[in-house]
Chains A and B, each alone.
Chain A
Amino acid sequence: MPPGGFSRTRNVDYDDDDAYDDEDDYSEEGEGGDGMTEHDKEQMRVGTTRVRQGLGELSEFTSDAQIQEALWHYYYDVDKSVVYLKNKLGTTEPKQEAPKKEKATSRFDQAASVADQKAPTTTGKQTHPQSSWLEESAYRVAYLSPPPISMPTNEAIGDFFWDVPWGNVPLHRLGVITLDTPRYRGGLLGGSSKLAALAAKRRKDREEAEAAATKANSEANAAVAMLDKLTVKSKEPTSNLRGGDTERPSRARYPGRRRSRSRSPPPEAIDEAILKPAVQQPAIVCELPAQRAKASMFASTLCGGSSTAARRPFPTLEVFPAPYTIYKEYDSAKAFASPSPDDIKKRVQGEKLAQSVEKLAVADEPKVKSKNLNVVQEFEKSGLKRMANFVVVGHVDHGKSTLMGRLLYDLKVIDQRSIDKLRKEAENIGKSSFALAWVMDETSEERSRGVTVDIATNYFETDKTRFTILDAPGHKDFIPNMISGASQADFPVLVIDASTNSFESGLKGQTKEHILIARSMGMQHIIVAVNKMDTVSWSKARFDDITKRMTAFLTEASFLEKRITFIPLAGLTGENVVKKIESSAAHWYTGETLLEALERVELPKRNLQKALRLSVADVFRGDMRSPLSISGRIDSGTVQVGDTILALPANETATIKAIEVQDAPVDWAVAGQIPTLHLTDIDPIHLRQGDMVCAPNAPVKLVKAFTSKLLAFEHVLPMPVEVFRSTLNSPGGIRTLSARLNKFTGEIVKKKPRIVKPGEVARVVVQLERELPIEEGMRVVLRERGRTVGAGLMENVA
């Protein structure tokens, strides 16, 4: 089936790759297309005048077009263009020969062109070898083929092949190559029209240059010599590979071919040449060519039939009759009229079998027993400390991880020995200043790059409160991870680098975006840690400046001023983190330390009585005992061991086998905590980061469109956006802008606005491509091409 192979594969394999369109990639190329930008035109104009100056008197003999072309090729290099044009005009050759870039011709081509020159050429303009080679579209095999058979549709493939023999495929089964003009025309694939034009131009130039073959330089000679060395023996002209009608540069070193072509007179004679390829001496003549062996037993079994010559024509089967159908009894038997022996037997045993199968039921593995606690009461009884989760946010390298490392170190959560070890390791790779950050950054990639990539979780405890730290990455590439961390937190700690320029660059970058995301998650308190105060020698002026500007920004993002706390500190040295600063330079600050501020923050109310809502921040496979575990913050409600939960959007239930909070096993967990739940009775494929876990009796609905109150961070129009609910996200779009609202009262200011400006609040309808579990009161973040455009509060299903 030789040539048919390709077309058949294409027909067969397309079902999963339906919209394969190779057309449009190539349709553009080759057409010049005036794709010049304004900038280019301007450069061209200036360049032309300057070249004219450079040319002096020769300028009169040169047309604008020539100059521009030269400029184009030299990328507006005036000097080179002038030199080129002078050379050209000097030779007074009327024919246009555009500049040739040295790089464009490979050594091989040079060698070939030198060889061309040696050969007695009489041909006129020679088309470019590559393109002529390709333009010859027809496989000559196509003439020989019988009329094409229609290809079966995909479903029928199996049927199509059912009686195809093993080898010796009958002719009518063979694929047929039809004459397609090849799509590849030697241009730059998929290139812009300008590039294509450039390439086409270069190609033309090279052809002309080759035809002229004036550049026989020593290098090319060397290349030829090298080629000669490569051949094993003689360089006698070899057989004419595609029947003498095509030429490639690499074969130009066989003069015989060329001669045969140039001699061949018009049409009929060419046909002759095709039919009778000049018999040429191969380079190596083998005295004793190998003999053909007869097919061995194995071979004849494999290939069917001993020799190809003696093949019998394959009978084509229209239908394949079963051998017994020829008997008369077959017609009269009605074999399937009465119940089969199996049926009879089953009917007799039927009842008994069903019973015994019921008895067979495999004893279920001991179900996880629920203690049926009243978790809310338990919680109140336990007198647990306040629980607070905070996320550390801020621009990249502003010192978030270092600050947290310092906090843990000063609170003796991390002992001196581990710190010393980290110090030594950090020094070894020349990043000693990152030693504290390594407390949080644990993966080798994070450590070697000095950048946090994923959320790191750590715990510490004070007399009053148990804290969970979520150290977020500051780099803009890892915003999704930051969102996942922020969705688990009660309030953010914003870290700002006080040193010159850093603060400013952060304000344009992720300082701003993180604040907006944190706010859009509904967080109301914020602690602003003005870090690296040591680098500005605890300048009060700098601190005040930052405070002023941040306050302005934060209030605009609708944080209340009284809920913002500013603390000047230095994470690296530890001043004002746990211990108060002693340095005299900072006598002006008498406020609280970071730790004090953390303890003072008011926490949002926990909705213990509501139905369970937990967003999955992490899914991991553990050991044999707990094959699948999830972790995430409980937004509302409670869980206890033995509870059944529902995972959305997969809509699968699971049973909780065990619960861990802060790495210690517990019987229950309540809203506000970030427990790890070990699950059974669920396939891991149903759980993914960002999923929603809820109580099966009060599930969250999957919605496809909803109205939302939107706080815009950028200009918002009806446009495609990416909708994030925690980390669960779906492409979607803002369908309509229903109304612009008053920021504080929520009253409608304007109906159907055309655009929502940054900072404004509007009611919009959001359409999702995939259903997401979202219910009233949940927060969503809308992002577009890596930027956060707004934050929404889900109001109702649209």
Chain B
Amino acid sequence: MARRTFPRRNNAPSGGTCAPVFARTIKEPGYLQTLRPSRSRGSNELRKIFLQTSIIPSASGSAYLEIPSSSPASKSTLIPPTSSLKITASVQGPKPLPRSVPFSPSLLLTTTVKFAPFATRHRRGYIRDSIERDLGVHLETALRGVIIGERWPKSGVEVVITILEGDEDGWWGDSGNDGSVNRGGWGLLNVLAGCITVASAAITDAGIDCVDVVCGGVAALTRDPAARDKKELVRILDPCPAEHKEIVAACAVGYLASRDEITEIWMKGDVGADPNALVEGATHAAVGSLAVVKEVLLEALQAKFQGPMEGNESGLKRKAQDVEMTG
């Protein structure tokens, strides 16, 4: 990842963004392995999700999503065992297209995905690199079919995603000295799923008409460390790459639960004979995260109309629910 530097910035030192590796990990061979996180939740259990909408007042819609680290922080080292995904999304528009743009009968969607420079253990550049552009394209496919674009001819909407902390591709201890883990980019799938979910929440927050609330989910096939023969593969939902020594395949989807439709799919690795199982797992994960999205959106809506609506609370509540459900 060639990093370009800006001449007019005080560029941060290149290299990692995390605490350095301490001598003890090198001196005591066994010690490092004791720090390895492992998955404590069930194979179908998702990580907890924090979601909040309307965090940016100047945007027409915005949302923040965080998937906190599920492994407990270690007492003996400063380095967090796993990363925790943190993504913000803001929606600008719909607003009229500039005159220079040719006529468009429906809403023009642009998606921009950017990692913050400190989002991963290896420092990112300020200019979007190919990975970020790729994520942007994936996200656009996930969202395009969901938005009812015909209602805004001649206008555009911009979905801007900033990844404040990305999921890593593996455990830091498995990597070289520089702290960067480059094992097939499993973390990107989680990032994409997160992007889809948070973008969808932000779009709903912006009040743009959609056919459904699209949600992202990830499933993976991993080698079971318990099984000795090393042949056994287990399917897990919402993998945290740092918790698994070896991920064989993974898949991220953008899924419309109530219509049972997939808008985006990204598969990686050796899927084996039955890719459908993996896709299905990912859709399950998406439905799982939808639960949180729905709850949060409902709450946000209720909070918004709490004041003036106190009189006839119950009836309106149902109405509000109705609106939000239909997304």
A170, chain B: closest CB distance, angstroms? 9
Assess A6 versus B322: contact at CB under 8 Å? Given A144-B316, A166-B55, A169-B57: no
Contact (Cβ within 8 A) A288 B42: yes
Assess A2 versus B279: contact at CB under 8 Å? Given A286-B288, A292-B49: no
**B327 and chain A: residue at smallest CB distance:** A241
Task: Name A's interface SS.
Answer: loop
Asked if B150 lies at the interface with its beta carbon under 8 angstroms from chain A, I say yes
Residue from the list A169, A182, A308 in contact with B299, Cβ < 8 A: A308
Contact (Cβ within 8 A) A17 B296: no
Contact (Cβ within 8 A) A167 B283: no
Residue from the list B50, B60, B279 in contact with A1, Cβ < 8 A: B60
Q: How far is the CA of A756 from the CA of B56 in the complex (A)?
A: 65
A435, chain B: closest CB distance, angstroms? 40
Assess A232 versus B259: contact at CB under 8 Å? Given A5-B206, A171-B308: no
Number of residues in A with C-beta < 8 Å to the partner?
Answer: 75
Asked if A285 lies at the interface with its beta carbon under 8 angstroms from chain B, I say yes
Q: How far is the CA of A370 from the CA of B289 in the complex (A)?
A: 78
B132, chain A: closest CB distance, angstroms? 21
Asked if A296 lies at the interface with its beta carbon under 8 angstroms from chain B, I say yes
Residue from the list A2, A141, A293 in contact with B205, Cβ < 8 A: A2
Assess A2 versus B204: contact at CB under 8 Å? Given A292-B292, A296-B68: yes
Contact (Cβ within 8 A) A290 B260: no
Asked if B5 lies at the interface with its beta carbon under 8 angstroms from chain A, I say no
Contact (Cβ within 8 A) B323 A308: no
Q: How far is the CA of A290 from the CA of B154 in the complex (A)?
A: 39
Report A167-183 residues with CB < 8 Å from chain B CB: 167-169, 171, 174, 177, 182
Residues of the B chain whose Cβ atoms lie less than 8 Å from the Cβ of A184: 150-151, 153
Residues of the B chain whose Cβ atoms lie less than 8 Å from the Cβ of A239: 258, 325
A666-695 interface code vs B (CB 8 A; 1 in, 0 out):
000000000000000000000000000000
Report B1-54 residues with CB < 8 Å from chain A CB: 42, 44-52, 54
Residue from the list B47, B52, B211, B287 in contact with A303, Cβ < 8 A: B52
Q: How far is the CA of A313 from the CA of B86 in the complex (A)?
A: 27
**Interface-located stretch among A7-15, A65-73, A579-587:** A7-15
**B165 and chain A: residue at smallest CB distance:** A298
**A171 and chain B: residue at smallest CB distance:** B307
Contact (Cβ within 8 A) A141 B291: no
Residues of the A chain whose Cβ atoms lie less than 8 Å from the Cβ of B67: 293
Asked if A199 lies at the interface with its beta carbon under 8 angstroms from chain B, I say no
Residue from the list B49, B54, B99 in contact with A17, Cβ < 8 A: B99
Asked if A753 lies at the interface with its beta carbon under 8 angstroms from chain B, I say no
Assess A289 versus B91: contact at CB under 8 Å? Given A139-B323, A231-B260: no
Residues of the A chain whose Cβ atoms lie less than 8 Å from the Cβ of B86: 298-299
Residues of the A chain whose Cβ atoms lie less than 8 Å from the Cβ of B280: 232-233
Assess A282 versus B207: contact at CB under 8 Å? Given A1-B54, A289-B288: no
Q: How far is the CA of A276 from the CA of B318 in the complex (A)?
A: 8
Contact (Cβ within 8 A) B260 A238: yes
Q: How far is the CA of A22 from the CA of B88 in the complex (A)?
A: 33
Contact (Cβ within 8 A) B322 A140: yes
Residues of the B chain whose Cβ atoms lie less than 8 Å from the Cβ of A600: none
Number of residues in B with C-beta < 8 Å to the partner?
Answer: 85
Contact (Cβ within 8 A) B96 A20: yes
Residues of the A chain whose Cβ atoms lie less than 8 Å from the Cβ of B208: 5
Asked if A331 lies at the interface with its beta carbon under 8 angstroms from chain B, I say no
A157, chain B: closest CB distance, angstroms? 10
A109, chain B: closest CB distance, angstroms? 15
Residues of the B chain whose Cβ atoms lie less than 8 Å from the Cβ of A604: none
A166, chain B: closest CB distance, angstroms? 6
Residues of the A chain whose Cβ atoms lie less than 8 Å from the Cβ of B327: 241
Most buried by A among B44, B262, B279, B322: B322
Residues of the A chain whose Cβ atoms lie less than 8 Å from the Cβ of B57: 1, 161, 164-167, 169
B41, chain A: closest CB distance, angstroms? 9
Residues of the A chain whose Cβ atoms lie less than 8 Å from the Cβ of B105: 189
Report A204-242 residues with CB < 8 Å from chain B CB: 230-235, 238-239, 241-242
Contact (Cβ within 8 A) B61 A241: no
Residues of the A chain whose Cβ atoms lie less than 8 Å from the Cβ of B325: 239, 277
Residue from the list B47, B96, B257 in contact with A290, Cβ < 8 A: B47
Q: How far is the CA of A164 from the CA of B58 in the complex (A)?
A: 9
Assess A299 versus B52: contact at CB under 8 Å? Given A140-B322, A235-B260: yes
Asked if A4 lies at the interface with its beta carbon under 8 angstroms from chain B, I say yes
Q: How far is the CA of A4 from the CA of B207 in the complex (A)?
A: 8
Report A127-162 residues with CB < 8 Å from chain B CB: 130, 134, 139-141, 143-144, 146, 161
Residues of the B chain whose Cβ atoms lie less than 8 Å from the Cβ of A311: 303
Contact (Cβ within 8 A) A290 B48: yes
**B204 and chain A: residue at smallest CB distance:** A2
B65-86 interface code vs A (CB 8 A; 1 in, 0 out):
0111000000000000000101
Residues of the A chain whose Cβ atoms lie less than 8 Å from the Cβ of B96: 10, 13, 17, 20
Asked if B167 lies at the interface with its beta carbon under 8 angstroms from chain A, I say no
Q: How far is the CA of A775 from the CA of B131 in the complex (A)?
A: 60
Q: How far is the CA of A389 from the CA of B245 in the complex (A)?
A: 79
Asked if B94 lies at the interface with its beta carbon under 8 angstroms from chain A, I say yes
Asked if B168 lies at the interface with its beta carbon under 8 angstroms from chain A, I say no
Residue from the list B55, B291, B299 in contact with A286, Cβ < 8 A: B291
Most buried by A among B50, B64, B94, B238: B50
Asked if A349 lies at the interface with its beta carbon under 8 angstroms from chain B, I say no
Q: How far is the CA of A190 from the CA of B105 in the complex (A)?
A: 10
Residues of the A chain whose Cβ atoms lie less than 8 Å from the Cβ of B64: 299, 302-303
Residues of the B chain whose Cβ atoms lie less than 8 Å from the Cβ of A238: 258-260
Residues of the A chain whose Cβ atoms lie less than 8 Å from the Cβ of B295: 292
Q: How far is the CA of A174 from the CA of B306 in the complex (A)?
A: 13
Report A277-327 residues with CB < 8 Å from chain B CB: 277, 282-296, 298-299, 302-303, 308-309, 311, 313
Q: How far is the CA of A289 from the CA of B300 in the complex (A)?
A: 20
Contact (Cβ within 8 A) B60 A232: no
Residues of the A chain whose Cβ atoms lie less than 8 Å from the Cβ of B99: 17
Assess A167 versus B55: contact at CB under 8 Å? Given A10-B96, A146-B308, A308-B300: yes
B1, chain A: closest CB distance, angstroms? 25
Asked if B95 lies at the interface with its beta carbon under 8 angstroms from chain A, I say yes
Asked if A52 lies at the interface with its beta carbon under 8 angstroms from chain B, I say no
Contact (Cβ within 8 A) A282 B318: no
Contact (Cβ within 8 A) B151 A296: no
Asked if B311 lies at the interface with its beta carbon under 8 angstroms from chain A, I say no
Assess A293 versus B48: contact at CB under 8 Å? Given A9-B95, A171-B304, A299-B64: yes
Asked if A275 lies at the interface with its beta carbon under 8 angstroms from chain B, I say yes
Contact (Cβ within 8 A) B52 A295: yes
Report A588-611 residues with CB < 8 Å from chain B CB: none
Contact (Cβ within 8 A) A241 B259: yes
Contact (Cβ within 8 A) A284 B257: yes
Report B243-298 residues with CB < 8 Å from chain A CB: 257-262, 276, 279-280, 283-284, 287-292, 295-296
Residue from the list B66, B98, B238 in contact with A298, Cβ < 8 A: B66
Q: How far is the CA of A169 from the CA of B49 in the complex (A)?
A: 23
Most buried by A among B49, B64, B304: B304
Asked if B93 lies at the interface with its beta carbon under 8 angstroms from chain A, I say yes
Q: How far is the CA of A230 from the CA of B256 in the complex (A)?
A: 13
**B58 and chain A: residue at smallest CB distance:** A161
Contact (Cβ within 8 A) B259 A285: no
Residues of the A chain whose Cβ atoms lie less than 8 Å from the Cβ of B95: 6, 9-10, 13
Asked if A251 lies at the interface with its beta carbon under 8 angstroms from chain B, I say yes
Asked if A243 lies at the interface with its beta carbon under 8 angstroms from chain B, I say yes
Q: How far is the CA of A392 from the CA of B238 in the complex (A)?
A: 73
B131-154 interface code vs A (CB 8 A; 1 in, 0 out):
000000000000000000011111
Given contacts A1-B61, A308-B52, 4 further A-B contacts (CB under 8 A): A274-B322, A292-B50, A292-B296, A293-B66
17 A-B interface contacts by CB (under 8 A): A1-B57, A5-B60, A6-B207, A9-B93, A9-B95, A164-B57, A166-B56, A167-B55, A168-B54, A177-B207, A184-B153, A238-B260, A286-B287, A291-B292, A293-B47, A294-B50, A308-B300
